[in-house]
Copies of this chain bind each other. A is one copy, B any other.
Amino acid sequence: MELFEVTVLGSGSATPSLIRNPSAQLLNASGHFFLIDCGEGTQIQLRRNSIKLQRIECILITHLHGDHYFGLMGLLQTMHLLGRQAKVTLICPAELKEIIDLQNKHSQTGLSFPLEYVFTDPKKAQLVYEDKHLEIHSFPLSHRINCTGFLFKEKIGLRRIIKEKLQQHKISVAEINNLRLGLDVVDENGKNILNSELTEPPPAPRSFAYCSDTIYDERIVEYIKGVNLVYHESTFLASEIDRAKKTFHTTAAQAATIAKMSGIGQLLIGHFSARYGNTEDFLEEAKPVFENTLLAEEGKTYKII
């Protein structure tokens, strides 16, 4: 089974503190590294967790509040200083390109590697990335400024060969690709053998969604329906619901409500306000609404199943 897991690098909101870093998560999808948000200090968090930053192929930024991107320039700069040559794909609001270009201009830096932009649309869901194994969709969130979430979906894989059956039916190795694709084959005596005799279905494709800063918004449900693991911000407890509304953030109970309505597998909550020392209260608030809730803990890796 290929890896599909996410490591939390930052679990706090607004400002870095001695106990929490601003937003950043690393998704490892079959060995390919996707960095989602990049608050100040993310490159140090990568080092602290022994994640090789040059392995990151794609960086996704949800919106242009500093706690989600102030670490990006430093990370790109470090990739450059270490002599990176491989392309980085940056999926982000269009305005981020201006910010990066201006800073590179004034530092007279030409990056050592190609930086390829894909701009998110803050108004509607769209496919922003696709490779052999994975597709990524962005979708709109409701925050104080333009903000998108991201949905990572594995593609349906190839059927898995049952080796013993292959030997039993004396099927030529040349047929393996056809079998993986789901085709029936002919054995050495010319007899037709059903694909289902020789193969098992591919593993179920897995999915992960990242719902960065947003007010409680039931329109999110359509984008994350049935997803295996959803990270949803949970900046406040229900006791601060007025502040949550005012600042376009969500409470733990609200995040759990969205999870329940969406029929997802597991909910991961984070982006905790600096006012809270202890985060166990968030879990206590969310679990009665949605039992499969997990707390975002920095340095912890969550398998997506």
Residues of A whose CB lies within 8 Å of any CB of B are 14-18, 40-41, 43-44, 47-48, 64-67, 70-71, 73-74, 77-78, 81-82, 93, 95-96, 98-99, 102-103, 106-108, 144-145
Contact = CB atoms under 8 A, between A and B. Distances in A.
B108 A144 contact: yes
Contact of A18 (B44, B64, B93): B44
B66 A74 contact: yes
A231 to B, nearest CB: 22
A108 B40 CA distance: 19
B106 A64 contact: yes
**Number of copies of this chain that the complex holds:** 2
Contact of A40 (B17, B71, B102, B103): B71
A66 B77 contact: yes
Given A81-B14, A102-B98, A107 B40 contact: no
A77 B107 contact: no
Contacts of A145: 106-108
Nearest to A82: B15
Given A99-B102, A103-B66, A44 B47 contact: no
Contact of A74 (B16, B78, B93, B108): B16
A39 to B, nearest CB: 8
